[in-house]
Amino acid sequence: MTKNSKEALKKRADARYRQEERALDGRKAMTEYEAQVLAIRAKTARLKALRLAKEAAAQNEQPATKAKVRPLKNRRKDK
């Protein structure tokens, strides 16, 4: 009976160890995931700011263009 109880204790200890390892790995993975999400958000914000600055600069460089009036071909002249 002591042999069975020692084996049972060892199995429970091993199971608890594996459970704790899985929990630790899960916390590690979640931390890495959250770090990646923050990095992506920061990169997106930086790129958006650059895009908006570029668009504003391009808009300020180009003066408002007036529509060109093209002469009509084959225009009938009233005599």
In terms of C-beta density within 10 A (0-12 exposed, 13-18 middle, 19 or more buried), how is residue 45 classed? Answer: exposed
Q: pLDDT-derived band of residue 61, with 50, 70 and 90 as boundaries?
A: confident
Q: Is residue 30 domain-resident? A: yes
Residue 72: inside a domain = no
Structural domain including 27 reads: 1-62
Q: In the prediction, which pLDDT does 4 show?
A: 79
- Is residue 74, in this structure, part of any structural domain at all? no
Kindly state the average pLDDT of the residues 25-50.
Answer: 98
For residue 50, give both structure tokens: 């650059």
Is residue 77 situated within a structural domain?
no
Give a yes or no: residue 73 inside a domain: no
CA dist list (Å): 61 to 15, 49, 65, 67: 69, 18, 12, 18
Is the confidence at residue 79, as pLDDT, over 90?
no
Domain presence at residue 70: no
Please count the structural domains in the chain: 1
Residue 6 lies in a domain: yes
Local confidence band at 65 (pLDDT 50, 70, 90 cut-offs): low
Q: Would you say residue 26 lies in a domain?
A: yes
